[in-house]
């Protein structure tokens, strides 16, 4: 694979990354993608869910080959370091090469899933490329719950084979995935004025690794929301008079929270006691998770007393105890496939509104009934604490086909190219194949992609040599369909 070929792919990815594409804010990337396809003479259409389909004719000799659907998504998870000044709705993602790795400057890279679009666009603008008739399906708002894929309508696609390029381990073919569902719970609070005899501080927990709540839920990364409420409870055990206010943490349903903060107040003269408890808490956390979370930190900083007041004395620790019961992490491992997570939950987002605390969780499961039961735990918790709940985005699992021609082709071609057997897996991450397959039964589907580490975090990086190898494999796989 020549460096020039890799450079072409990365240049297109950089071009895509100049267009803001935060999930739920597609007002710039959607028309840009439509114009990109039409300006090059391709037939382009969209639907009510803002999915885009670019139809590409077969190259000579492939006219009788089956139509292949190439699929990726247009949005990205927008994460940045706290000290980075970056507005994802305006500013471009700026990449740089760190040896064999491509990174962004203080933000998530957006290789998930710009690399898929870049590979597709590089293919169809290369006059030397060979391929069957193609439908490039670019879905909307994948990162907020596979919204575009879930809202596809019958007839939008004609292809019989689908290649999803949203996997993140070179040499690994994905043939199935877990399903998922968001749940919001709302816990009511009453506010009171800040007592005059209190000192107010903001407790910030941060410096955590974060990452993808599907593919990294089992590796022991800490959750900032979990640590925040645990720290407040430990302080309360030593200082029962503590008062609690605004609670905030996390950014997205599929990102493990990296930072969380809460307003706390203690009687004048007890500040030193609170600092001692926090110091001991930090030491405990480093002993528990320090091998993974090497930059974990927590601090108390002076803040102005909140104008809206603090939670009523009777509510504050009641809320903390409720939040302490929210599950996070692996619930069950697969019985059928050794080493694969079956069911998990991400305590994803914590927000304080005027009269309630709002929590967003995302659960995943390969077994629908087990996932539904896990969600019921959240419903029960809301009821127990006098709150309410609502479900959000839901998507089905992708069940592996008993016989797959595209998988057989892929295994043979990978072995021929690299003299190695590819790994075949069912992943705990949510992929759009399950949602798409629910609308188009019988699609022969596979997912693969270059190596991307720590997606959905500012440490996201993509292995450049793997881009070249996956590009080579992708093209050879397409060529194998010559009739």
Q: What pLDDT, in 10s, does the model give residues 248-257? A: 999 988 899 9
User: In this structure, are residues 126 and 52 in contact, taking their beta carbons and an 8 Å threshold?
Assistant: no
Region 185-193: mean pLDDT is 95
Q: For the chain, give every domain's residue range.
A: 3-178+397-479, 181-395
CA torsion angle 109 113 119 120 (round to 10): -150
Choose, from 112, 142, 293, 432, the residue flagged as catalytic: 142
Mean pLDDT calculated for residue range 348-355: 95
Taking the C-alpha atoms of residue 417 and residue 348, their distance in angstroms, rounded to an integer, is 41
CATH for the 181-395 domain, from 3.30.70.360, 3.90.870.10, 3.40.47.10, 2.130.10.10: 3.30.70.360
Mean pLDDT is lowest, of 117-126, 129-138, 371-380, for 371-380
Identify the pLDDT of residue 188: 96
Q: Report the alpha-carbon distance of residue 29 to residue 51 in Å, rounded.
A: 12
Give me the phi and psi of 274, to 5 degrees please. Answer: -65, -40
Q: Residue 37's closest CA among 124, 162, 119? A: 124
Average pLDDT, integer, range 400-416: 94
d(CA 143, CA 157): 22
Is residue 335's pLDDT more than 90? no
Q: Which two tokens stand for residue 436?
A: 């798409």
3-class SS letters over the chain: CCHHHHHHHHHHHHHHCCCCCECCCCCCHHHHHHHHHHHCCCEEEECCCCCEEEEECCCCCCCCCCCEEEEEECCECCCECCCCCCCCCCCCCCEEEECCEEEECCECCCHHHHHHHHHHHHHHCCCCCCCCCEEEEEECCHHHCCHHHHCCCCCCCCCCEEEECCCCCCCEEEEEECEEEEEEEEEECCEECCCCCEEEEEEEEECCCCEECCCCCCCCCCCHHHHHHHHHHHHHHHCCCCEEEEEEECCCCCEECCCEEEEEEEECCCHHHHHHHHHHHHHHHHHHHCCCCCCCEEEEEECCCCCCCEECHHHHHHHHHHHHCCCCEEEEECCCCCCCEEEEEEEEEEEECCCEEEEEEEEEECCHHHHHHHHHHHHHHHHHCCCEEEEEEEECCECCCCCCHHHHHHHHHHHHHHCCCCEEEEECCCCHHHHHHHHCCCCEEEECCCCEECCCCCCCEEEHHHHHHHHHHHHHHHHCCCC
pLDDT tens digit string along 147-186? 999 999 999 999 999 999 999 999 999 999 989 899 999 9
Q: Does residue 228 carry a pLDDT above 90?
A: yes
Q: Is the pLDDT of residue 226 over 60?
A: yes
Query: Where does the pLDDT of residue 460 fall: very low under 50, low under 70, confident under 90, or very high at 90 and above?
Result: very high
Instruction: With CA atoms as reference, report the closest residue to 401 among 372, 370, 368, 424.
Output: 424
| Integer Cα distance of 46 and 125 in angstroms | 21
Beta bridge partners, 138, equal 52, 72
Torsion angles phi and psi, residue 251, rounded to 5: -135, -25
27-38 pLDDT per residue, tens: 999 999 999 999
- Give the separation between CA 67 and CA 62, rounded to whole angstroms: 10
The answer to whether the beta carbons of residues 20 and 95 sit under 8 Å apart is no
Distance CA 214, CA 174 (A): 14
Output b/e per residue, 386-403; b: 16+ Cβ within 10 A.
ebebeeebbbbbbebbee
- The whole-number pLDDT of residue 63 equals 95
Q: Which of 80-84, 163-167, 374-378, 455-459 has the highest mean pLDDT?
A: 163-167
- Reported confidence tier of residue 1, pLDDT bands at 50, 70, 90: low
pLDDT of residue 281: 97
Strand partners, 261: 204, 248
Cis omega (within 30 of 0) on the bond before 113? yes
Q: What confidence tier does 472 reach under pLDDT thresholds 50, 70, 90?
A: very high
Domain made up of 3-178+397-479: CATH architecture: 3-Layer(aba) Sandwich (3.40)
Q: Tell me if residue 142 is catalytic.
A: yes
Average pLDDT taken over every residue of the chain: 94
Q: What is the pLDDT of residue 55?
A: 98
């Amino acid at each position: 694979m020549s460096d020039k070929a890799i450079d072409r792919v990365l240049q297109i990815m950089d071009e895509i990354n100049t267009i803001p594409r935060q999930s739920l804010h597609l007002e710039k990337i959607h028309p840009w993608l439509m114009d990109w396809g039409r300006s090059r003479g391709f037939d382009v259409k969209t639907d009510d869910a803002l999915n885009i389909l670019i139809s590409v004719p077969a190259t000579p000799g492939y006219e009788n080959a089956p139509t292949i659907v190439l699929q990726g998504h247009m949005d990205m998870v927008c994460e940045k370091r706290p000290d980075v000044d970056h507005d994802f709705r305006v500013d471009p993602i700026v990449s740089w090469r760190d040896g064999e790795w491509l990174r962004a400057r203080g933000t998530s890279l957006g290789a998930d899933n710009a690399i898929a679009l870049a590979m597709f666009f590089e293919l169809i603008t290369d006059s030397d490329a060979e391929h069957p008739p193609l439908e490039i399906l670019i879905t909307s708002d994948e990162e907020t719950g596979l919204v575009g894929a879930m809202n596809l309508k019958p007839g939008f696609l004609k292809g019989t084979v689908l290649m999803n390029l949203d996997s993140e381990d070179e040499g690994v073919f994905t043939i199935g995935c877990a399903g998922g569902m968001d749940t919001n719970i709302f816990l009511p609070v009453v506010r009171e004025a800040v007592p005059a005899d209190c000192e107010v501080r903001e407790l910030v927990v941060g410096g955590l690794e974060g990452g993808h709540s599907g593919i990294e839920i089992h590796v022991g990364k800490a959750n900032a929301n979990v640590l925040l409420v645990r720290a407040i409870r430990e302080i309360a055990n030593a200082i029962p008079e503590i008062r609690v206010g605004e609670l905030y943490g996390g950014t997205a349903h599929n990102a493990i929270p990296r930072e969380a903060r809460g307003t706390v107040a203690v009687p004048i003269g007890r500040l030193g006691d609170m600092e001692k408890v926090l110091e001991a808490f930090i030491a405990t956390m480093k002993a528990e998770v320090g091998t993974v979370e090497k930059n974990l930190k927590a601090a108390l900083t002076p803040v102005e007393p909140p104008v809206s007041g603090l939670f009523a004395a009777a509510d504050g620790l009641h809320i903390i105890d409720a939040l302490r019961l929210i599950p996070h992490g692996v619930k069950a491992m697969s019985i059928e496939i050794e080493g694969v997570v079956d069911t998990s939950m991400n305590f994803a987002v914590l927000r304080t509104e005027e009269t309630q605390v709002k929590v967003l969780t995302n659960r995943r499961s390969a077994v629908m009934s087990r996932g539904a039961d896990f969600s019921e735990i959240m419903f029960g918790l809301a009821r127990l604490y006098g709150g309410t709940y609502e479900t959000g985005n839901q998507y089905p699992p992708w069940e592996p086909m008993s016989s797959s021609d595209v998988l057989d082709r892929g295994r043979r071609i990978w072995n021929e190219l690299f003299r190695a057997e590819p790994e075949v897996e069912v992943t705990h991450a949510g992929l759009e194949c399950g949602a798409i397959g629910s609308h188009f039964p019988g699609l022969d589907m596979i997912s693969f992609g270059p190596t991307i580490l720590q997606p959905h975090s500012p440490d996201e990086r993509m292995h450049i040599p793997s881009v070249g190898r996956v590009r080579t494999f992708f093209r050879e796989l397409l060529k194998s369909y010559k009739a």
